[in-house]
């Protein structure tokens, strides 16, 4: 007879992982949602989220939050990020990357290094950037990429971003039919240039859009052919694990290991070491004396537990630190 198998035939539920962060080295071909799904199975809980979407073609650092650590992800998302990328000059695509359809080609063999450096300088610093039309930005409640795929014209407003580093690592000519360069140019295509770059950008910056705008500035079109995120805030590839490594660790130890809340916070925020009295007050949502540090500060108890995130403000003529997120409630 049909129906579900007996409960004894189902895989045993994994023990729930401790609250904390998991830094994943995302493989190519996976969506960020795919990685969250695998993370939920490994962590034994559905309370898993991610900080900052990576496109399926991209690889590298994807920060997952487990349990109470999902509340920290909003702050991790806002951190600056490092990427290694390859930009192909000589073709523009519908998605600003290699997964889209080519809409225009031009001979890029005449692009000199001086022209390239000038165009990159114009895209460095505080700039206004129009996001890619296939981005996850919502337009009237619907994702831009969904509207674009439905054939709608998508017009996104330019937004201020900061590109604090845009460094050329290598420039390679690409000729039609050459198998040494991926993706291979069609035989009837014009010569192209592959430019390997390293960039550091603020939250909300689209590296695909940098590739598009670089190609447009040089008059030859451009798109991404490779993208690897090497850092999100205080979390780099040096602390990232592949999904296979995480699975092996969880199988070996019986539970998925996470970066504890306090350690995770130390990688993102300045730290305020609390007195026992301050830790108790914060756990009740009360205000404490100011930290003297601008922005958000992690408040850690004498036992090393992350109690809250606090921000300095002024109230009643006094400088105080107010809790903006309490992680260890009374």
Active site residues: 55
Q: Pick the closest to residue 35 from 256, 243, 258 (CA basis).
A: 243
Tokens, residue 68:
């109470």
Written as six digits, the tokens of 130 are 């129009």
- Alpha helix ranges (H) inside the chain: 32-43, 73-77, 113-122, 144-149, 207-218, 243-253, 261-266, 276-283
Between the alpha carbon of residue 151 and those of residues 99, 125, 132, 144, the distances in Å are 17, 34, 15, 11
Q: Rg of the chain's alpha carbons, rounded to an integer?
A: 23
Strand partners of residue 143 = 138
d(Cα 168, Cα 189) in Å, to the nearest integer?
24
Q: Is the peptide bond before 183 cis (omega within 30 degrees of 0)?
A: yes
Please give the Cα distance from 151 to 142 (Å, whole number): 13
């Amino acid at each position: 007879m049909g129906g579900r198998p007996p409960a004894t035939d189902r895989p045993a539920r994994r023990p729930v992982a401790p609250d904390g962060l998991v830094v994943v080295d995302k493989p190519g071909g996976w969506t960020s949602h795919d990685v969250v799904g695998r993370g939920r199975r490994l962590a034994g809980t559905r309370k898993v989220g991610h900080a900052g979407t990576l496109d399926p073609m991209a690889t590298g650092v994807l920060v997952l939050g487990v349990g109470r650590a999902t509340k920290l992800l909003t702050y991790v998302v806002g951190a600056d990020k490092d990427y290694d990328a390859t930009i192909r000059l000589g073709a523009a695509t519908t998605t600003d990357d290699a997964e889209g359809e080519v809409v225009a080609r031009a001979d890029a063999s005449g692009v000199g290094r001086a022209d390239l450096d000038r165009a990159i300088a114009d895209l460095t610093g505080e700039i206004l950037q129009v996001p890619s039309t296939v981005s996850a930005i919502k337009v009237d409640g619907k994702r831009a990429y969904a509207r674009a795929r439905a054939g709608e014209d998508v017009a996104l407003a330019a937004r201020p971003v900061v590109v604090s580093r845009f460094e050329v690592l290598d420039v390679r000519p690409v000729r039609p039919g050459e198998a040494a360069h991926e993706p291979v140019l069609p035989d009837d295509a014009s010569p192209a240039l592959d430019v390997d770059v390293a960039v550091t950008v603020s939250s909300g910056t689209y590296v695909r859009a940098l590739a598009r705008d670089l190609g447009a500035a040089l008059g030859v079109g451009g798109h991404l052919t490779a993208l690897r995120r090497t850092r999100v805030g205080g979390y780099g590839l040096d602390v990232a694990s592949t999904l296979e490594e995480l699975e092996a660790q969880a199988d070996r130890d019986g539970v998925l290991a996470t970066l504890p809340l306090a350690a995770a916070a130390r990688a993102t925020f300045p730290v305020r070491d609390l007195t026992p009295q301050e830790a108790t007050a914060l756990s009740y949502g009360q205000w404490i004396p100011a930290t003297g540090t601008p922005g958000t500060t992690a408040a850690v108890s004498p036992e090393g537990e992350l109690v809250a995130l606090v921000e300095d403000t002024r109230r009643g003529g006094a400088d105080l630190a107010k809790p903006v997120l309490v992680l260890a409630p009374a």
